[in-house]
């Protein structure tokens, strides 16, 4: 009767295959420590031959001995040539990465744009602030069109900007003119005609 892999013990490290795992199990079962050490070195050489392209990688041999210990469920009693990984370290979790979970008022503008608007709000009035506000307003319009795919009036952008800054930045259509929606929506066409023009 054939032994199907689905009926066999799950491999700890499938990349080495079932034959190597069986060698490791046999090595663990050997009673003589010297014989176990000789068997372990033979297995390490076989494992290394499976990945010859990694032989020049730093600590490759060390990793093989770690893998051997893992495959033996840390039951292989030999004098390892390296300090092998501890069993408890296999199950340690990385430190949790803290994320800024502050809500975004309008997702189509994004968090970074909100931060830039806050920076502009704190700047003293003058040409530098006006230039930044103009850039931000145009970027808001571009972001709005990118996500909503519909024409938007400048007054809507000015209204959102006033809302973000609690009225501290107040733009109107008489003094500020943003780029046309079509300028943001138009995409350069790629085709034979452009290729011909480029070659002239």
Closest CA to 107 of 137, 140, 136: 140
DSSP 97-127: PP---PPPS-TTT-HHHHHHHHHHHHSPSSH
Residue 94 domain-assigned (yes or no): no
pLDDT, one tens digit per residue, over 5-25 is: 556 678 889 999 999 999 999
Number of domains in the chain: 2
Residue 103 domain-assigned (yes or no): no
Residue 98 domain-assigned (yes or no): no
Is 2 a residue whose pLDDT tops 70? no
How many of the other CB atoms lie within 10 Å of CB of 99?
6
Residues 17 and 68 in one domain: yes
How many of the other CB atoms lie within 10 Å of CB of 53?
6
CA atoms within 13 A on the CB side of 10: 1
pLDDT, one tens digit per residue, over 112-157 is: 888 888 888 888 888 898 888 889 998 888 888 888 777 788 888 8
Is 184 a residue whose pLDDT tops 80? no
Residues 129 and 68 in one domain: no
Residue 48 domain-assigned (yes or no): yes
* Percentage of the chain exceeding pLDDT 90: 32
Closest CA to 139 of 13, 147, 7, 67: 147
More confident residue, 3 or 98: 98
Closest CA to 141 of 189, 187, 172, 182: 182
Residue 102 domain-assigned (yes or no): no
Residue 23 domain-assigned (yes or no): yes
For residue 60, give its domain range. 10-88
Structure tokens at 198: 């480029």
Closest CA to 102 of 111, 92, 94, 113: 111
pLDDT, one tens digit per residue, over 75-108 is: 999 999 999 998 887 776 667 776 666 677 778 8
Residues 74 and 27 in one domain: yes
Range of lowest pLDDT (24-33, 42-51, 85-94, 186-195): 186-195
Contact 45, 60 (CB under 8 A): no
Q: What is the DSSP letter of 96?
A: P
Among residues 52, 73, 88, which one ends one of the domains?
A: 88
Residues 77 and 127 in one domain: no
Residues 40 and 74 in one domain: yes
Residue 66's Cβ-count burial label (10 Å; 0-12, 13-18, 19+) is middle
Residue 195 domain-assigned (yes or no): no
Band (33; pLDDT cuts 50, 70, 90): very high
Residue 5 domain-assigned (yes or no): no
């Amino acid at each position: 009767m054939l032994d199907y892999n689905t009926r066999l013990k799950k491999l700890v490290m499938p990349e080495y295959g079932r034959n190597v795992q069986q060698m490791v199990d046999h090595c663990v079962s050997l009673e003589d420590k010297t014989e176990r050490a000789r068997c372990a070195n033979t297995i390490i050489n076989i494992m290394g031959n499976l990945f010859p392209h990694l032989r020049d990688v730093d600590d490759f041999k060390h990793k093989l001995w770690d893998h051997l210990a893992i495959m033996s469920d840390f039951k292989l009693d030999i004098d390892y040539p390296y300090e092998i990984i501890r069993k408890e370290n296999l199950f340690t979790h990385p430190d949790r990465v803290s994320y800024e979970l502050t809500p975004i008022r309008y997702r189509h503008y994004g968090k970074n744009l909100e931060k830039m608007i806050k920076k502009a709000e704190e700047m003293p009035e003058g040409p530098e602030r006006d230039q930044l506000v103009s850039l931000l307003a145009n970027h808001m319009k571009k972001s709005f069109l990118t996500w909503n795919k519909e024409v938007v009036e400048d007054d809507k952008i000015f209204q959102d900007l006033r809302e973000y800054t609690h009225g501290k930045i107040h733009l109107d259509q008489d003094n500020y003119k943003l780029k046309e929606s079509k300028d943001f929506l138009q995409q350069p066409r790629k085709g034979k005609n452009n290729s011909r023009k480029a070659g002239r």
